[in-house]
Chain A
Amino acid sequence: MNAALKLGDVREAIKPVVFERDLQIISNVQVNGEYRQMVLKAPREMLEQCRAGQFFHLLCPQLGGENPYLRRPMSIYGFYPDKGEMHFLYKVTGEGTRALAHLGAGDTLNVLGPLGRGFTIADNWQHLVLVARGVGLATLAPLALEANRLGRKLTAICSARSDDVLMSVHYFRSLGANVVTVTDAEGTSSIENLEAIIEGLIAEEGVDAFYTCGSNRILRLLQRIGEKHEIPGEIALEQQMACGLGMCHCCVRPFRKEDRVVNLRVCREGPVFDMQEAMPW
């Protein structure tokens, strides 16, 4: 916003683009052993602002003996302006998500968003490959929706501990994606096997861009393959947040920019970043 500011437009008003709203919960149910899905009724004008890779900052309720204070960031799992619905997929891990799990149909949840910078799909990227593990798939799911809308070919490589926690496979298939599953249980999720699968895709079909989220090992692998074949990529990253808007500078991570390392805010410059600039953690 600042960078674009010129002397001539200093009086120009800024239109608020971030919504703070109480949304009604349609459902909030367990979808498998580890994950819950929350469906909220949301206004069209809010949903039309959403982009794949963006997040909402949720005011988790004080329920069930849980007293979360700060908001919790959560990536958008699905947004449907026509149906008036927003979906989140989450794993119950701490005070905030435990509190969220107590909410039921008809309850309200205060949300702030959409926030941050989402994924980019350049006009000339025809074959997109996403590689993700665990809950990282929730963040990448709306990318499949976007690829489908834009008529791009998508291959989703989904990694998990065992078959029964492979999420979103049906979802990706329903959007016409080619889905490859690898699991620890079957011994197919090793980095060596992933590398062979990806090299195979590059050799046979050509790959224009990579997308990932959630795994350090997968990031390192994709950085190496991306550099070797000169294929661009993006990664969605997480960090503890306070304000979610860019004011507090709590959620920084280090990135390589040319010859130096700089701190960028995950909430504002991210949560989606250039894959080669990201630093493994």
Chain B
Amino acid sequence: MVDLTVDVGSLRLKNPIMPASGTFSEDLADVFDLDLLGAHVTKTITRGWRDGNPTPRVCEVSGSMLNSIGIPSKGVGYFIERVIPFYKRYETPLVVSISGNTADEFATLCSEVSVDGVAAIEVNISCPNIEEDGKAFAIRPSSTFDVMTKLRKATHLPLWAKLTPNTGETPEVARAAEDAGADALVVANTILAMAIDINTRRPKLGNLMGGLSGPSLKPIALRMAYQCARATKIPVIGCGGISSVEDVLEFLIAGATAVQVGTATFINPLAMPRIIDELAAWLARHGYSSVKDVIGSVIDDEQKAGVVFMEAAP
């Protein structure tokens, strides 16, 4: 029997597989027993009501997809009254994803969702900060440090910072989050992208641009997860295009402690439970007694920091 448990800071997970925010909800309980998962991660909520973006909100690109949903939210009251109680039937820890337009609004929400039934808070600092020209908090180390400092003061629960690939300063942003008290890094969100219908000449998304997710994103997210694992001492949770057990292993070897599966669930709703089974089987087949033995086992021959942390292709 292979030990699949991992520790994300103080939080022990029965296995390293969890959903990515926005690709999971109570609705998936119609397909399989959600207690099989290592953690439950809810879709990002905001404090108040948000309608979300105009349709089309999704389009397909070669082997991947773009989305621009716009964080529709029923607000924090509905979430606390209706969503959190739903998850209390499960043993699996609940991770709540939140977002805010300003650092103060973000911190207020962080404090409001620090309630019984919530095991950790994932802060989606990849969302636009309206106080900084709409640039996401996690694009710059300084705005990352400022918002994470306020969020840290707002809760006693573990704080996971979800980073964005739309930055040229991944290691610096990761260190800023760590310095401000983040307990873990989720690496990463979707990358800003676009698609145009050549016949109508209109962008394929109602919001013109949106986030790329799926297999095309994976090498970028893997590179970032590796950099973040090298740059910080806090656990990294890999996220981006993970669709198979091989993808999971790649992230674990790069230094991720756990992973999030997102878009793959849209294609195969049973992707997560299948990957958990296949991970146990792969580890057993290769003689490992614990998944922890694989984490960070990348053989990179201690390359110079200048190479590991480069932000441009050589």
Contact = CB atoms under 8 A, between A and B. Distances in A.
A249 B72 contact: yes
A220 interface: no
Interface stretch (B63-71, B125-133, B244-252, B281-289): B63-71
Nearest to A12: B89
B168 interface: no
B58 A112 contact: no
A197 interface: no
Contacts of A243: 23, 265-266, 269
B60 interface: yes
A67 B62 CA distance: 8
B88 A245 contact: no
Interface in B261-280: 265-270
A13 B89 contact: yes
A245 B27 contact: yes
Contact of B31 (A16, A67, A95): A16
Given A245-B269, A248-B69, A10 B60 contact: no
B115 interface: no
Contact of A250 (B30, B33, B69, B83): B69
Interface residues on A, range: 35 or more
A177 interface: no
B55 A253 contact: yes
Contacts of B56: 240, 250
B82 A69 contact: no
B230 interface: no
Given A69-B214, A248-B67, A249-B72, A2 B30 contact: no
A122 interface: no
Interface string A1-43: 1110101001111101110100000000000000000000000
A20 B89 contact: no
Interface string B60-94: 11111101010010000000001101101100000
* Most chain B CB atoms below 10 A, which of A11, A17, A247: A247
A190 interface: no
Nearest to A1: B26
Contacts of B26: 1-2
16 contacts: A10-B88, A13-B89, A14-B34, A16-B30, A16-B33, A17-B30, A69-B61, A71-B266, A240-B58, A240-B59, A243-B265, A246-B25, A247-B22, A247-B25, A248-B266, A250-B58
Interface of A: 1-3, 5, 7, 10-14, 16-18, 20, 59, 67-71, 95, 112, 239-253, 263, 268
